[in-house]
Chains A and B, each alone.
Chain A
C-alpha cells in the first residue's frame, strides 16, 4: 500500500485558514514525546477496534487523528483516557505507563478530554461545570467540607472559583458563567467543555470533534482558540471529520482506517497520500 515518499511540500501548501498569515511554526522539537502509544490493540468481543496502533504525541504540537467513520479514533481516545483499558500494548505519558489506572487518576496526571457528543453536567451552571474540573486538584477532607468550617475549604473554594472564571474567559464565555449549562447555545456548550477540560490543568488536551455541528464562523473562531491554546503550551490531540479544519490547524496527522494506522505525517503529505485518499474516497487501492 505505501508508496515511496513524495517530496516534502513547499511552504504555501501549509495551513490555509484564519491565521494563515502567521509565520509557519518549525516542526516541534522531537525531544521526548509527551505521550507514546505503542502497539495499542483493543478488542470488543470478536471486533478488533484498534490493531497494533503506534504513534507519539510531541510536546507542544497539535496532532490530528483522522479516519473514516468507525476507524477507531474515539476508541483511541477512550484508551488514552482510561475509559476502555487496552487489550494489549502500552500507553506512556511523560515516560510512565498508564497501565490500568482509573479515569480520574489519568485526568489528575494531566490528560483531559472533551466529548464528541456533548457531556456537560446539564443542571449545573457553566461556572460549576468548570469548577468540577478544577476540583480535581483540591483536597478538602470530608469532615472539613461537611461542616464547612475549615479555612482550607474556603480558601480552596475561592481558588477554584477564580480558576474556573479564568478558564471561561479563556474560551470566551465569561458572560455565561451563571447560566445553567443545558440552556447554553450549542457552540458555547462546546466551548464550555473545553473550559472544563482546561480546568483540570492538563498537559495533553484531547478534543473529540470540537467543531462538529458548528457553522463556518464558529469553526474559524474555534480554530483560533485551538491554536492559541497550543501557543500557550498545551499539547493537543484533535479528532475531526472536517478535513479543512484538520489540515488548517494541525502540525502533524495520524490516519486510522479499520483500526489500523495507514499514514502519519505533515498535513500536506497526508493530503497527497494515496492510501489516505483511497480511504476517504473509497477508491480501491489499485486505482489510486
Chain B
C-alpha cells in the first residue's frame, strides 16, 4: 500500500484517469447502444475499435506523418485530426455494419437463441483480429507523431496537457451529439421505440432491421473517434489491442447501467479514475484487477449499474 503516493499525486492521477476514462466511455457507447435494441453484447465491437486505430495510422502515413517525423504545424495538425477522425469513424462504422450483416442478421432471420449470437460474436471478433494480424503484423504499430504533449494549465497541482484536453473535449462532444440524436430525431425515436418494445415498434411502422443497422453504425462511428483519441494517447496499437480496451469499455457500460447512454459516460470516467487511483495504491500490476473488482463491488449493491438500464427498464 502506498497511500502517500496516492495522496501526493491525486490530481495528476485523476487527470490521467479522466482522459483514459473518456476513451472507455466512447467505446462503451457501442456496447450499450447495441444492447439497448438487441439485448446482445456485441463482442466484435472491440475489433470495430481496432479498425479505427489502424485507419488512423494509415491515414497519418498517407499524409506523410510517421512516428519519427517532427510534429507538423498547428493548422496541419488540426486538418489531419479532422481527416483522421472521419476516416477512422467511417471505417469503424463500416466494419460494424458488416459484422451486423454477416454475423447477426442471418441468425435473427432464423430466430436463433441468444447463446448462438454470443458465439457468433466471439467468432466475428477472432476472425477480424486475425485478419488484422495477417495484413498488419502481430507487432506493435507506432502512431504518427501528431501531438507533442505540452502542459496548458495546472489544476490542484496537476498538469493538464493539450492532449488530455483534446481527448476529454472530443469525447464529451461526441456524446452530446449522440445523446441529442437519440432523444430528438425521428431515427433516434425509432431506436428508443425498438429498445422499449420491438414488436409494437414494428407494428407502428418502424423498420427494425434499419434501426438495428443504425445502432451498429452509431456505435462504430463512436468507436472510430475513440480509436483516434486512443492512438494519440498511447502512441501505439496492435492487432489485439481491442481485447483489453473492449473488456474495459464493456465493464464501463455495465458499471453505468448497460443500455443507458449517460451511464456509459459515467461508467467510463469512473473506471478510468478507479484504475489510476488503484494502481497508485497497489502498483500498476494490479490495474486490471482493480477495474474488475470495482465492477463486482458496484454490481453487488446496484445490480443494474449506477444509473440503471434506462432503455432496458422499459421492457415488459
Q: Assess whether B202 is in contact with A113, with CB atoms less than 8 Å apart.
A: no
Residue in contact with A138 in the complex, picked from B186, B199, B203, CB distance below 8 Å: B186
Q: Is the interface of B mostly helix, strand, loop or mixed?
A: helix
Q: Assess whether B205 is in contact with A107, with CB atoms less than 8 Å apart.
A: yes
> Could you mark each residue 305-316 of chain B with 1 if its beta carbon is under 8 Å from any beta carbon of chain A, else 0?
000001101101
Q: Assess whether A196 is in contact with B185, with CB atoms less than 8 Å apart.
A: no
Contact residues in A for B189 (Cβ distance below 8 Å): 124, 128, 131-132, 135
Contact residues in B for A132 (Cβ distance below 8 Å): 189-190, 193, 201, 204, 206
> Could you mark each residue 275-316 of chain B with 1 if its beta carbon is under 8 Å from any beta carbon of chain A, else 0?
000000000000000000000000000000000001101101
Residue in contact with B181 in the complex, picked from A103, A112, A136, A145, CB distance below 8 Å: A145
Q: Assess whether A133 is in contact with B187, with CB atoms less than 8 Å apart.
A: no
Q: Assess whether A133 is in contact with B205, with CB atoms less than 8 Å apart.
A: yes
Interface: B200 (CB within 8 A): yes
Q: Assess whether B197 is in contact with A119, with CB atoms less than 8 Å apart.
A: yes
Contact residues in B for A103 (Cβ distance below 8 Å): 199, 202-203
Residue in contact with B214 in the complex, picked from A81, A104, A124, A142, CB distance below 8 Å: A142
Interface: A271 (CB within 8 A): no
Contact residues in B for A137 (Cβ distance below 8 Å): 205
Q: Assess whether B192 is in contact with A136, with CB atoms less than 8 Å apart.
A: no
Q: A135-B206, A196-B204 are in contact. Are A124 and B193 (CB under 8 A)?
A: yes
Distance from B93 Cβ to chain A, minimum over Cβ atoms (Å): 11
Contact residues in A for B214 (Cβ distance below 8 Å): 142
Q: Assess whether B205 is in contact with A200, with CB atoms less than 8 Å apart.
A: yes
Contact residues in A for B207 (Cβ distance below 8 Å): 104
Q: A123-B311, A156-B186 are in contact. Are A136 and B204 (CB under 8 A)?
A: yes
Distance from A158 Cβ to chain B, minimum over Cβ atoms (Å): 12
> Could you mark each residue 160-197 of chain B with 1 if its beta carbon is under 8 Å from any beta carbon of chain A, else 0?
00000000000000000100110011111110110011
Distance from A207 Cβ to chain B, minimum over Cβ atoms (Å): 13
Interface: B39 (CB within 8 A): no
Q: Assess whether B203 is in contact with A157, with CB atoms less than 8 Å apart.
A: no
With the chains together, A200 CA to B181 CA distance in Å? Answer: 22
State the interface size on chain A (CB cutoff 8 A). Answer: 37
- CB interface residues, A 80-94, toward B, < 8 Å: 81-83
Contact residues in B for A157 (Cβ distance below 8 Å): 185-186
Q: Assess whether B196 is in contact with A124, with CB atoms less than 8 Å apart.
A: yes
Contact residues in B for A100 (Cβ distance below 8 Å): none
Interface: A244 (CB within 8 A): no
Distance from B258 Cβ to chain A, minimum over Cβ atoms (Å): 15
With the chains together, A14 CA to B313 CA distance in Å? Answer: 47
Residue in contact with A145 in the complex, picked from B187, B199, B311, CB distance below 8 Å: B187
With the chains together, A107 CA to B188 CA distance in Å? Answer: 20
> Could you mark each residue 142-162 of chain A with 1 if its beta carbon is under 8 Å from any beta carbon of chain B, else 0?
100110100001001100100
Residue in contact with B313 in the complex, picked from A83, A108, A113, A123, CB distance below 8 Å: A123
Q: Assess whether B181 is in contact with A119, with CB atoms less than 8 Å apart.
A: no
Of chain B, the residue at the smallest CB distance from A148 is B185
Contact residues in A for B188 (Cβ distance below 8 Å): 145
Q: Assess whether B203 is in contact with A107, with CB atoms less than 8 Å apart.
A: yes
Contact residues in A for B238 (Cβ distance below 8 Å): none
> Could you mark each residue 196-232 of chain A with 1 if its beta carbon is under 8 Å from any beta carbon of chain B, else 0?
1100100000000000000000000000000000000
Interface: B208 (CB within 8 A): yes
Interface: A102 (CB within 8 A): yes
Of chain A, the residue at the smallest CB distance from B211 is A104
Contact residues in A for B206 (Cβ distance below 8 Å): 104, 132, 135-136
Q: Assess whether B204 is in contact with A123, with CB atoms less than 8 Å apart.
A: no
Interface: A115 (CB within 8 A): yes
Q: A145-B185, A153-B185 are in contact. Are A102 and B197 (CB under 8 A)?
A: no
Residue in contact with B187 in the complex, picked from A115, A142, A200, CB distance below 8 Å: A142
Q: A104-B202, A132-B201 are in contact. Are A123 and B193 (CB under 8 A)?
A: no
Q: A124-B192, A132-B204 are in contact. Are A148 and B187 (CB under 8 A)?
A: no
With the chains together, A102 CA to B201 CA distance in Å? Answer: 12
> Could you mark each residue 195-229 of chain B with 1 if its beta carbon is under 8 Å from any beta carbon of chain A, else 0?
01101111111111000001001000000000000
Distance from B146 Cβ to chain A, minimum over Cβ atoms (Å): 26
Give me 5 other A-B pairs in contact (C-beta within 8 A), A119-B199, A146-B185, A200-B204 excluded.
A107-B202, A122-B316, A124-B196, A132-B204, A142-B217
A interface residues with partner B (beta carbon < 8 Å): 81-83, 102-104, 107-108, 112-113, 115, 119-124, 128, 131-133, 135-138, 140, 142, 145-146, 148, 153, 156-157, 160, 196-197, 200
A-B contact pairs, 29 of them (CB 8 A): A83-B203, A103-B202, A104-B202, A104-B204, A107-B204, A107-B205, A112-B203, A113-B203, A119-B197, A121-B192, A121-B193, A121-B196, A121-B201, A122-B197, A124-B192, A124-B196, A131-B189, A135-B205, A136-B205, A137-B205, A138-B186, A142-B217, A145-B187, A146-B185, A146-B187, A148-B185, A153-B185, A157-B186, A200-B205
